[in-house]
Structure 1
């Protein structure tokens, strides 16, 4: 499938807004919230790909980093910065495919959070990631 102007997200996904310039440039990204948590998604385009015609590893890692950060925010209501992220590339995502993922915090202390993310195309796993995030206590939500 070639690059298209229609991102055609699956039912239930809405356009994500309020992202920084880097993430907005890489998108558009979509999200939905379910009883089990949240899911982010993106329609893979040619601009997301490397010279082999598959999604660039850096794009996958940036997408996973956003998932991990979202999980930390949802669990702690605190802005956090990535300290470390490990990624395992499991398969490729190609132009036209719907790539989605989710993440969860596995442990949080007062100063750091540990989390895991999974990216997939349909039932096919594409990337697994784990991360450590520094919680920025002065930016904790007052809500």
Structure 2
């Protein structure tokens, strides 16, 4: 059973974005939206709802870091072929501006380096185009494909 949440309308989400369907934790914290850009990397976003906010009516840092974790994980996964779920080894972030209630939060990650077993990525996450979070992460690249082995299917 998923928690109730406001369903985004096509008018409230930028053109070209597709709702990403997840089970578990992100099912109750989403919806997240995404697309693959011309560089072949994921662009992801979400609309800040009241349930995402702290008492100041801005997006809670925990939700922003959850989003950063998803964004960087998908960035590395897609960059290494999109066939593996990548657990997070390290995630850091700096809150550089607010993401107010109703704002569109969006990010595009950048792969810095991939080794045989680790992927390093970074992103600037914005709220209505203004910087909100600067983040970086390290993802573990498993030695074999995982059960959910086509992360790109979420973006199709």
TM-score by length of 1: 0.88
The whole-number CA distance in structure 2 between the counterparts of 1:26 and 1:79 is 19
Question: Alpha carbons of 1:33 and 1:117: their partners in 2 closer, same or farther (altered >3 Å)?
Answer: same
State yes or no: 1:54 paired with 2:64: no
Match 1:128 to one of 125, 129, 134: 134
State yes or no: 1:79 paired with 2:67: no
Structure 2 unpaired stretches of 5+: 151-156
Offset, 1:5: 5.1
Residue 92 of structure 1 aligns to a residue whose secondary structure is coil
The whole-number CA distance in structure 1 between the counterparts of 2:144 and 2:6 is 42
- 1:105 and 1:115 in contact (8 A); partners too: yes
The whole-number CA distance in structure 2 between the counterparts of 1:55 and 1:14 is 22
Match 1:70 to one of 68, 74, 81: 74
Structure 2 partner of 1:11: 15
The whole-number CA distance in structure 1 between the counterparts of 2:137 and 2:18 is 26
Offset, 1:4: 6.2
Residue 102 of structure 2 aligns to a residue whose secondary structure is coil
Structure 1 unpaired stretches of 5+: none
Question: CA RMSD for the aligned pairs?
Answer: 1.9
Match 1:24 to one of 27, 33, 43: 27
- 2:42 and 2:78 in contact (8 A); partners too: no
The whole-number CA distance in structure 1 between the counterparts of 2:61 and 2:17 is 24
TM-score by length of 2: 0.81
